[in-house]
Chains A and B, each alone.
Chain A
Amino acid sequence: MCAASVEALFSLLTDRRKIRRSGRRTLDSGSGPPEERLLSILRQALLLFSLDRFLVRDADAIMKSGRILVTVRGEPVDDARHSAYREIKAVTAHALTVEEGPSGFTARFVLDV
């Protein structure tokens, strides 16, 4: 669910199909309730773009000692190949939910654009 949320975030930023998987980064949620761990991961993911100009093509996640480690694959922005759809100011805590259902977890988060 965390990995899918990161991919969703980057789908709102750009066309992920044009991102090459040439680099790799790891995000660590820390401990806490599921909502806080998701918020932490998404904030770190947004900073990858805002601070390091790194775009994420895809991601996967593992649980380790109660923390979620998300490995993302992607590359730095190449203005010739990547176009940014919109500016995302922040991932907010407003109405953020993580719910478990029969087929897995569903996350809902609100972005300030």
Chain B
Amino acid sequence: MRFEEISLSQVSETAWEIPRTGGMLVPGLVFASREMMEDIVRDQALRQVMNVAHLPGILFRSIGMPDIHWGYGFPIGGVAAMDVDEGVISPGGVGYDINCGVRLLRSNLEMATLRPRLPELLAALHREVPSGVGSTGTVRLTPPEMDKVLTGGSRWAVSRGNATEEDVEFTESGGRLPGADPDAVSDVAKKRGLDQLGTLGAGNHFLEIDEVEEVFFPEAAAAYGLFQGQAVFFIHSGSRGLGYQVCDDYLDVMAAYMRKHALNVPDRQLACAHIGSDEGRRYLSGLAAAANYAFANRQLLAHQVRETVQRVLRLGPRDAGIRTVYDVGHNNAKFESHEVDGRRRDVLVHRKGATRAFPPGHPELPAAYRDVGQPVFIPGDMGRGSFVLAGAPGAMRLSFGSTCHGAGRRMSRTSARQSLRGKSVFAEMERRGVLVACTSRKTLAEEIPEAYKEVGTVVDVVDRAGIARKVARLRPLAVAKG
């Protein structure tokens, strides 16, 4: 099969290989059904998979997930693992919103009971959880306190009484990446972050109240504390302006490094530096700091949700039972141990719009999940729902312990707005049985369900490919957006 000069061979029902050509150091590997591939080839994402395959030290394959789409330099939905001695680190392989991710909170509440209170609860959550462009949080950090957030992540929130030990246990990497150095974060980035902690942001970030509609993998659902008909709370946010600035700052550093060392890559947004270089190590320290800010941000958001729900419903913590199922990022670069060509190696895994998905038995998983695999959350659109998955063994063989992260856009923001032709998004969502509260109507119009691919088709591919397993489907009933 050839699309726009790109050779593709279908190597399984759900996987396609792009053979090495030109300066590619490894082949490309993209997970998709045949129908999805016809959509994927319409933008430049496959070309970007090939571009990433040129990066020094890349191992095994340049990988694309079924929600892949065009991004800056790296495709969104891309995974690339680098040899730690010869490989490079690229801010474009992480993205602007460093450690953007998702947290799922379960509860003791059944949706049948909660449903009549949803309008009141949504209004309270939208009021109490800051969202929207330029929104500021209830926490105003001092510079010394900012440094503690950057090094401590979710642990910082424990020290303030805004997190429990259980929250931290059920957060990827314990809610704190090692190696964070506040001095590797510019003053401008820190200033942008001083008043944004505990804010949702705008765009595709959201806070949802969902119902667990269907369970596919009962053992995993039981381990995660999920049951059919349950009310759960879904948070999607990241490192806010601080993370964007860290990315921006280091793109310049990497560009200078590439000029100095005559490193050539096919796209300047793939700017990178060797992992062991001063520039590479410094970016990794800044990245870890921004990732920790994101962990602390989602922790504060979760705390605010917990407090608000308990207050509105007049329930104590034990009765409400709002507990973290898991918190996992989908824009990161992390040192991990993987088997490559039959040999265990330490590698640096870039995941940009891709979620870590460790399988059963992985030592980094909390004991409670070790028999079923790591929870993975795949937000869909605000009309058709989302999925809970569990990491599966195939992810370690095929995708460096990674899977998809969302539905992927199929419509530009402008096209989404134009497609409404004056119709009210609120009325349309209400017709679907979804309550919506938002700060910007324009943002809402850009996030209509039709703007996204059907998440079920994306999830089916990773399930059939054996890199993650479907656990449950969530149906949104109330959505708060910035």
Contacts and interface: CB of A to CB of B under 8 A. Distances in A.
Interface stretch (A16-24, A46-54, A64-72, A98-106): A46-54
Contacts of A112: 72, 96, 244
A113 B203 contact: yes
B132 A93 contact: no
Given A47-B188, A53-B134, A77-B134, A89 B269 contact: no
Interface string B240-267: 0100110110010000000000000001
A contact residues, range = 20 to 34
Interface in B441-455: 442-443, 446
Interface string A68-91: 000000000100000111110110
A83 to B, nearest CB: 7
Contacts of B443: 85-87
A107 B276 CA distance: 37
Contacts of B251: 93
A100 to B, nearest CB: 21
Contacts of B201: 87
Given A84-B440, A90-B248, A110 B72 contact: yes
A62 B93 CA distance: 37
A37 interface: no
B338 to A, nearest CB: 29
A85 B442 contact: yes
A112 B413 CA distance: 12
A84 B97 contact: no
B73 A94 contact: yes
B34 interface: no
Nearest to B203: A87
A74 to B, nearest CB: 15
B162 to A, nearest CB: 24
Contacts of A50: 134, 192, 241, 244-245
B30 interface: no
Contacts of A47: 188
A53 B134 CA distance: 8
Given A87-B201, A94-B269, A113 B72 contact: no
What DSSP secondary structure best describes chain A's contact surface? loop
B482 interface: yes
A113 B132 contact: no
A64 to B, nearest CB: 23
B203 A84 contact: no
B133 interface: yes
B248 A94 contact: no
Contacts of A87: 133, 201-203, 443, 482
A84 B131 CA distance: 12
Interface string B46-83: 00000000000000000000000000110000000000
Contact of A94 (B244, B247, B267, B413): B267
B191 interface: yes
Nearest to A14: B133
Interface string B98-135: 00000000000000000000000000000000001110
Interface in B220-239: none
A49 to B, nearest CB: 8
B140 interface: no
B287 to A, nearest CB: 15
B42 interface: no
Contacts of B268: 93-94
A86 B269 contact: no
Contact of A90 (B247, B413, B446): B247
Given A50-B241, A77-B134, A89 B97 contact: yes
B255 to A, nearest CB: 8
A38 to B, nearest CB: 14
B45 to A, nearest CB: 13
Contacts of B269: 92-94
Which of A43, A50, A87 has the most chain B CB atoms inside 10 A of its CB?
A: A87
Interface in A1-58: 13, 43, 47, 49-51, 53
Contacts of B132: 84
Residue from the set B73, B192, B268 with the largest chain A CB neighbour count within 10 Å? B268
A90 B243 CA distance: 11
B452 to A, nearest CB: 15
Interface of A: 13, 43, 47, 49-51, 53, 77, 83-87, 89-90, 92-94, 110, 112-113
Q: Which 7 A-B pairs rank lowest in CB-CB distance, beginning with the nearest?
A: A84-B133, A87-B202, A89-B96, A94-B269, A89-B244, A94-B72, A85-B442
Given A51-B241, A77-B134, A110-B72, 6 more contacts: A13-B133, A47-B188, A51-B192, A89-B96, A93-B251, A112-B72
8 contacts: A85-B440, A86-B133, A87-B133, A90-B244, A90-B247, A90-B248, A94-B268, A112-B96
